[in-house]
């Protein structure tokens, strides 16, 4: 079986809602709603990241016509804008948060995150302080991974098995320490599709933009043609 014949695209978002002058990648609520509606129209199943991990643990084939929805950083709009739209469609998602940023201006509070976690949202780690991993010492990295996991679990009351590397930066040492800290999966930011032989501590994701609110661009990304073209053009 071709590695491209069976995969689950992991879609990456940051903020959904009005744009702000802070350079954070932001998708309008209208575009996000259209993307969710297109997934429903084309009968895509939305898995939680934990469901994807369960498939990997069992060594089972990845479900066809499925996607995973992820959010980085934990902006307040994840709770106030994205969550109500996801609920309307009955879709799960995961938000990766750096505990050191939770509750600051523009970011969700622990109360908001706990409410998300009670309703089909998984809360994962984005390190303790959104630190760029390749620049950290082994001791700093271990602290960022272990402490963020412990804080999230204490504040949310649920296991934090999933990690997202800030800005996509990671190293083999980071992968090993993530595994040792108890994470079951880790995501980066590079475009790719998880399939046969994937590295669960370097799951690549697909950045979603305004133009993906139209059928052809969205289908290109969730079907695999978009990423296959990128790999053929610039092999990793």
Q: Name the nearest CA neighbour of 8 among 31, 35, 38, 39.
A: 39
Average pLDDT over residues 82-104: 98
Q: Which residues of 103-112 are buried (b: 16+ CB within 10 A; e: fewer)?
A: eeeebbebeb
Average pLDDT over residues 206-235: 79
229, pLDDT greater than 80: no
**For the ranges 53-67, 101-115, 150-164, which has the lowest average pLDDT?**
53-67
pLDDT of res. 57: 85
Q: Name the nearest CA neighbour of 200 among 90, 66, 49.
A: 49
Domain parsing of the chain, residue ranges: 10-233
The C-alpha atoms of residue 70 and residue 92 are separated, in whole angstroms, by: 9
Q: Name the nearest CA neighbour of 123 among 155, 168, 91.
A: 155
Instruction: Judge contact between 8 and 56, C-beta under 8 A.
Output: no
- Give the confidence band of 227 by pLDDT, cuts at 50, 70, 90: low
pLDDT of res. 198: 72
pLDDT of res. 213: 97
Q: Please give the class, per CATH, of domain 10-233.
A: alpha beta
Average pLDDT over residues 82-89: 98
- Total Cβ atoms within 10 A of residue 87: 12
pLDDT of res. 157: 96
pLDDT of res. 3: 41
- Residue 36 to residues 41, 65, 75, 80, 188, Cα–Cα distance (Å): 9, 14, 19, 16, 23
pTM, to two decimals:
0.92
Average pLDDT over residues 30-41: 98
Q: Are strands 45-47 and 66-72 parallel, antiparallel or unpaired?
A: parallel
Q: What is the mean pLDDT of the chain?
A: 90
Task: Return the C-alpha torsion angle 104, 118, 68, 39, nearest 10.
Answer: -110
Give the pLDDT confidence of 42-79 residue by residue, as tens digits.
999 999 999 999 988 887 777 789 999 999 999 999 99
């Amino acid at each position: 079986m071709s590695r491209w014949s069976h995969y689950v695209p992991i879609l990456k978002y940051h903020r959904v809602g009005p744009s702000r002058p802070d350079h954070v990648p932001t998708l309008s609520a209208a575009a996000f709603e259209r993307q969710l509606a297109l997934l429903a129209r084309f009968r895509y199943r939305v898995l939680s990241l934990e469901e994807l991990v369960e498939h990997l643990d069992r060594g089972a084939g990845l479900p066809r016509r499925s996607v995973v929805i992820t959010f980085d950083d934990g902006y307040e709009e994840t709770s106030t804008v994205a969550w109500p739209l996801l609920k309307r469609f009955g879709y799960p998602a995961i938000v990766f948060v750096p505990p050191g940023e939770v509750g600051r201006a523009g970011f969700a509070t622990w109360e908001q995150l706990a409410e998300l976690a009670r309703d089909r949202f998984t809360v994962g780690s984005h390190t303790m302080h959104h630190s760029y991993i390749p620049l950290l010492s082994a001791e700093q990295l271990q602290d960022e991974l272990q402490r963020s996991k412990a804080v999230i679990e204490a504040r949310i009351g649920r296991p934090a098995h999933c990690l997202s590397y800030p800005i996509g930066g990671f190293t083999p040492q980071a992968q090993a320490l993530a595994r040792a800290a108890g994470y079951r999966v880790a995501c980066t930011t590079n475009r790719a599709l998880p399939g046969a032989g994937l590295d669960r501590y370097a799951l690549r994701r697909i950045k979603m933009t305004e133009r993906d609110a139209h059928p052809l661009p969205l289908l290109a990304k969730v079907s695999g043609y978009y990423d296959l073209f990128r790999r053929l053009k610039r092999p990793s």
